[in-house]
Amino acid sequence: MTIPLFEAAYLILGSLLMIPGLSPARMRVITRWYPQRRVAAFHLGLRTRWFITGLYVLALFLGKPVVYSLFGFAAFWAIKEQFTTLPTRRSDRRTL
């Protein structure tokens, strides 16, 4: 049994819209148990994730080449961030 395309799209969109509904409850737990600095970092991370989600949705409307290039840039940024956080020796830097 296959799911029609529109039903699958509604399922994905509904699950994406359900996530912000859970965020206030999660925020109450975080503010109660963690200091203010971590709460500020959580807000920044949440805002960044919604920005990236908006970029992906916009790219979906603009076509496949835009989506492919956006995923390519995201993969590049992720691997670049991974390399900057890895502790490397001086001899490893040339190969990286």
Q: How far apart are CA 13 and CA 10, in angstroms?
A: 5
**pLDDT score at 11:** 75
- The pLDDT of residue 94 is 65
Cα gap 15→40, rounded to integer Å: 26
pLDDT of amino acid 35: 67
Domains of the chain, residue spans: 1-62, 63-96
Distance, in Å, from the CA atom of 24 to the CA atom of 30, rounded to the nearest integer, reads 10
pLDDT at 23: 67
Specify the pLDDT at position 96: 57
Collapsing DSSP to helix, strand or coil, 96 comes out as coil
Per the listing, tokens 């991370």 go with 45
Chunk the chain into consecutive blocks of 10 residues (it has 96) and report each block's average pLDDT, rounded to whole numbers.
67 72 69 70 78 81 85 86 74 64
Extract the tokens encoding 2.
């296959």
